[in-house]
Amino acid sequence: MNQTMTQPGVRSVEVNRVLKNTYILLSLTLAFSAFMSYVAVATGTGRLGSPFLVMGVYMGLFFVISKLRNSPLGILAVFALTGFLGWTLGPMISSVLTLSNGPQIVTLSLGGTAAIFFAMSGFALFSRRDFGFMGNFLLIGMLTVFVVSIVNYFFLQLPGLQMAISGLVILIFSGFILWDTSDIIHGRETNYIMATTGMYVSIYNIFANLLALLGVFGGDE
């Protein structure tokens, strides 16, 4: 009976530990990613020429993180991934900064991304609802957007469709933040390294696509 009574308490302690470690590591990786973006902007680097090359490096580093998830080396792998992705944002940020209201667009994109993250994650934390059912829908949506993006990149090259894709990406990865937070709360995700990676990727995609949309619709040049 005592064991039964203490199980919820033990689970709550474990959930709080994973949440704490996830948010600490996420904060550090976001700071490092921002620093690498600054380096890319200042040095004019970060352009790899093809988004599929970026995707290839991302998949390779994600595989390494998955293999090292239970090792301290996994933390270094997370910093390698987030630093690399932050560095690749440099050319996009540099392009937006050439607009006369570029700094305001970048600031608004950062603020909008932060607002989405706190809203989604906070809603999952305080409502305590289980959003695990969203997983399949989000994965299907992400795969659909990926296929449409490839078709548009190689064949259609329609700016309007690309903007629509950016809007859908923002919605989908906002859902991923809700889903990832819910997985931690309900004990489905107990590894803070993987949880941090998932949340960072969502934040990265939201910021990049929000910056692209605001750069098009908010630019005055």
Residue partners of 101: CB distance under 8 A and separation at least 6? 218, 219, 220
CB 194, CB 65: distance < 8 Å: yes
CB 163, CB 137: distance < 8 Å: no
Q: How remote is the C-alpha of 108 from its chain's centroid?
A: 17
With b for 16 or more beta-carbon neighbours within 10 A and e for fewer, the 147-156 pattern comes to ebbeebeeee
pLDDT recorded at residue 5:
35
d(CA 138, CA 176): 7
Q: Mean pLDDT of all residues in the chain?
A: 91
CB 192, CB 21: distance < 8 Å: yes
Please say if the pLDDT value at position 1 is more than 80: no
With b for 16 or more beta-carbon neighbours within 10 A and e for fewer, the 157-194 pattern comes to eeeeebeebbebbbebbbbbbbbbbbbbbbeebebbbb
The range of the structural domain enclosing residue 53 comes to: 2-217
Per-residue pLDDT reduced to its tens digit, 122-154: 999 999 999 999 999 999 999 999 999 999 988
Q: Which of 55-59, 80-84, 193-197 has the lowest mean pLDDT?
A: 55-59
Instruction: Read off the pLDDT band of 47 (50, 70, 90).
Output: confident
- Number of structural domains (the chain) is 1
Instruction: Scan for tokens 């608004």, then name that residue.
Output: 108
pTM of the model: 0.92
